[in-house]
Structure 1
Amino acid sequence: MSDTHAESVAYVRDTMLPESPPPAAETGVTKWMKKNLFATIPNSVLTLAAILVIYFLLAATLPWILNGIWNATSIRECREILDGATGGCFAVLSDRWNQLLFGFKYPSTEYWRPALAFLLLFVAAAPVMFFKYLPRQMLLFTGVYPFLAFWLIWGGSIVPPLLLLLGFVAAYVAFKALEKRGFGVAVLGGLGVLVVAIILAGSIGKIEVLRLEQVQSRDMGGFLLNMILGTVCVSLSIPIGIALALGRQSDMPIIKWICVVFIEFIRGVPLITLLFVANVVLAYFLPPGTTFDLIVRVIIMITAFASAYIAEVIRGGLAALPRGQYEAADSLGLDYAQAMRLIILPQALKISIPGIVNVAVGLFKDTTLVSVISMFDLVGMIRGPILASTDWNGVYWELFGFAALLFFVVCYGVSQYSQWLERELNTDHR
């Protein structure tokens, strides 16, 4: 009976079977290729076609790159070394790298100054770009950096930039002191203090303290000029664009129509036209004998151009917010400035990140248009002094490929940062 009873009881395993390895087609590279490259017949055809295109491109370009000549004094010497073989004449980059980066008039003994300013740019931008991971005290250097960079790049005495810095600090203190009397009064008070500081900087700016060799704006060139225009214009156009977007939605008719006319006029005019205005026409509106720096004129026009587009991007972000956000700010008893600073703008700017980055990337690439008004930026240096010389006349792919690489690195870095920032701020469904 015990045997019969034992046979009727189900067998229960008290140990786990060892895990079996997954099939080869469901793991590793094979699974990835099956999922992403050969999931369907159309995908497989497109993958094979793309592989063929990549093969032909590499077959044509790799020998040209790998057989390239880096040590030569002219294109004729490059061709003699190649002796009919396929290869690029990259010696032009070795010979003219300083002109491509700094222009042909910037003093060679002072290259360390713009290079140092470029490195410090990352230090100044880091607390703004990675605000969650760096101490807020680093923002003090961010505020000082524009004046330090101006002194490093243009040179001269440190007194004028220092006075301007103190002027901005005093203007901010005046703004906060007058804020209780009204936003408009605070703005006028801050601007008044800033104007006084600018006048003082111009009047006593000749005091010789920590003087560097002065470099004129007409001596700026190369990729340095593109970086100056791109960085300054993007930094200025974002706050101006925010002000224009808020002004366009203002209940005050005069403010609203001024912003509308400015935005629509700037958006309806090509940038190259504004650059010609900055180069030629703007001087006719100044008193006789007045000198107005060309780089400053170009910065004003490019900033105005970008501000109009950023204003529309931010206006779209403001329109995307539900009405309840504005009503929530009113229910908390916040005034207009507090509601915009604490509730409305943070959400609108988060929505507007892709559009702002799109304008910024386009603006940085459009800085090459200054070459049409005889400013020797990176493209202007290539089209002008370098290709005009008999030594390198005929070298095109190497020079323009180098320019494309520099712009791609900067624009791709900005794009990747914007995507990372969107992921960091995407807290809606966490």
Structure 2
Amino acid sequence: MSETHASTVSYVRDAMLPQAAPPVGETGAIRWVRENLFPTWLNAILTVVSLLAVYWVLSHILPWFLNGIWTAKSLTECRQIRDATLGPDASAACFAVISDRWQQLLFGFYPNHLYWRPVLALVLFLVAVAPILFSGLPRKMLMVSAVVPFAMLWLLWGGSIWGVLSVAAGFGLGYLGFALGSKYLGALVGALAAILVPVFWWIFAASAAAQIMQGIVPISIEAVSSKDFGGFMLSFIIGVSGIILSLPLGVLLALARQSDLLIINKTAVTFIEVIRGVPLIVWLITASLLLNYFLPPNANLDLLLRVIIMVTLFASAYMAEVIRGGLAAVPRGQYEAADALGLDYWKSMRLIILPQAMKISIPGIVNTFIGLFKDTTLVVFIGLFDPIGLASAIRASTDWNGIYWELFIFIGLLFFVCCFSMSRYSIFLERKLQTGHT
């Protein structure tokens, strides 16, 4: 370096500076607030307005919650406690109605001394669905899952155990009809036999067989009529039954709608479009008032059973369209690959096509399940005492006449827990199966 140039340079760094911390405004909460709440002047205004709205709502709701009264026998007593402790102008919720009537909201008019039966049925249900929802559990537990629904049926309704076993026998006969029909007359005949044989058995022979066996070996527990079912238990029974039954029926309808056989295709299309084209409340009224006219003279289906059948058919029509969308999203090459492997129709569907279609359809399937579970509240219009119907009955009593929000918040919380759980499981399953394209 020349002497003239060296004299013009005051300092030349010969070592790296140590790493310094970033500015305070570029890290942590301050950065997040600036980027997400105040990135522009418009967003800043909207943030301030939103915070004021949240503050206004919480300032009115929180005192009502925090001052809640949990011990009282009537709304009048609640108000007397509020006036004595907080003042007549204070805002206080009367949650005592939940403390006083929670059993009725959960179990309806189910006998008090038999509450252990629906509780045990719920425990068995959770045990049964565990190996279905979580693949890490032993596959042998699926045998328990196949038996538990019949045990739950007996626990909830009681009566002779042979009535439940006769229902289970219908499924065994259906499987036998499918196996024999498929072996000797073709897959189509086998499928029809799997449907028609159990139906005829249940309508014409199951009741008589149960009575004969009960006369030979009497085994029974205290029977409970369906009219005593109510509250959240009723909604849970209808919702879970519709969910479990509508999924396989929806798969069959989706496959039938894509069938090349004219009769099967048009029958499936007609069923799906007719069911989806009419509101659920109309079908429930049909189940309540008209369905018995289409049954044999001696057949008298229980109202709750009729509702479950109609809810299942309604949900299966929507499920069929969701699954049909998944089938349409499977690349055509997958169908061709199944043909190239020499697989017949049922094996290609079971091993290659349906697993991919079901994986794609997970969000739509769970969305249908959640909608179905919430729609169980519509049974109030046909005289069944679901949680909404019981809330109206409770509010009509002299003790709790005039109470509103406390009951509906409790009911909404129960539905939220169930629906949110289904939603979170859907997300878990999507991540596990890596649904979608990366």
1:144 aligns with 2:152: no
TM-score, normalising length: structure 1: 0.89
Give the distance between the partners of 1:27 and 1:214, measured in 2 at CA.
Answer: 66
Give the distance between the partners of 1:63 and 1:17, measured in 2 at CA.
Answer: 56
Q: Which residue of the other structure, out of 210, 215, 222, is the alignment partner of 1:205?
A: 210
CA contact (8 A) 2:177 2:197 kept: yes
Query: Partner letter of residue 67 of structure 1?
Result: N
1:420 aligns with 2:423: no
CA contact (8 A) 1:159 1:201 kept: no
CA contact (8 A) 2:253 2:320 kept: yes
Q: Which residue of the other structure, out of 390, 393, 401, is the alignment partner of 1:393?
A: 401
Query: Partner letter of residue 263 of structure 2?
Result: I
In the other structure, the counterpart of 1:29 is 29
1:339 aligns with 2:343: no
SS in 2 for 1:406: helix
CA contact (8 A) 2:360 2:436 kept: no
Tell me the C-alpha RMSD between the 2 structures: 2.5
In the other structure, the counterpart of 2:156 is 153
In the other structure, the counterpart of 1:6 is none
SS in 1 for 2:94: coil
Q: For residue 205 of structure 1, report the CA deviation from its aligned partner.
A: 2.6
Q: For residue 235 of structure 1, report the CA deviation from its aligned partner.
A: 1.0
In the other structure, the counterpart of 1:246 is 255
Query: Partner letter of residue 205 of structure 1?
Result: A
Alignment gaps of 5+ in structure 1 = 1-9
In the other structure, the counterpart of 2:76 is 76
SS in 1 for 2:73: coil
Deviations 1:36-91 (A, max 9, x none): 33334333333322222221111111111111111111111111111112101111
1:402 aligns with 2:410: yes
In the other structure, the counterpart of 1:236 is 245
| Correspondence list, 1:21-420, <5 A | 21-83=21-83, 84=88, 85-103=90-108, 105-131=109-135, 133-165=136-168, 167-169=170-172, 171-172=174-175, 175-176=178-179, 179-181=182-184, 182-188=186-192, 190=194, 194=198, 198=202, 201-206=206-211, 207=214, 211-288=220-297, 290-383=299-392, 385-420=393-428
Give the distance between the partners of 1:218 and 1:123, measured in 2 at CA.
Answer: 27
Give the distance between the partners of 2:363 and 2:435, measured in 1 at CA.
Answer: 17
Distance 1:261 1:192, change over 3 A: closer
Give the distance between the partners of 1:359 and 1:138, measured in 2 at CA.
Answer: 27
Distance 1:116 1:330, change over 3 A: same
Q: For residue 417 of structure 1, report the CA deviation from its aligned partner.
A: 1.1
Deviations 1:93-115 (A, max 9, x none): 01111110011x21001111111
Bigger drift between 277-286 and 330-339 goes to 277-286
In the other structure, the counterpart of 1:7 is none
CA contact (8 A) 1:309 1:359 kept: yes
Bigger drift between 346-355 and 209-218 goes to 209-218
Instruction: Give % identity.
Output: 55
Q: For residue 346 of structure 1, report the CA deviation from its aligned partner.
A: 1.0
Q: For residue 151 of structure 1, report the CA deviation from its aligned partner.
A: 1.0
Give the distance between the partners of 2:38 and 2:168, measured in 1 at CA.
Answer: 60
Q: For residue 197 of structure 1, report the CA deviation from its aligned partner.
A: 6.6
Give the distance between the partners of 1:308 and 1:125, measured in 2 at CA.
Answer: 24
Q: For residue 204 of structure 1, report the CA deviation from its aligned partner.
A: 4.1
SS in 1 for 2:140: helix
Q: For residue 405 of structure 1, report the CA deviation from its aligned partner.
A: 1.1
TM-score, normalising length: structure 2: 0.88
CA contact (8 A) 2:166 2:209 kept: no
Distance 1:179 1:284, change over 3 A: closer
SS in 1 for 2:259: coil
In the other structure, the counterpart of 2:8 is none
Query: Partner letter of residue 91 of structure 1?
Result: A
Query: Partner letter of residue 76 of structure 2?
Result: R
Bigger drift between 79-88 and 47-56 goes to 47-56
Give the distance between the partners of 1:239 and 1:22, measured in 2 at CA.
Answer: 57
Q: How many residue pairs are counted as aligned between the two chains?
A: 416
Deviations 1:348-370 (A, max 9, x none): 11111111112111111111010
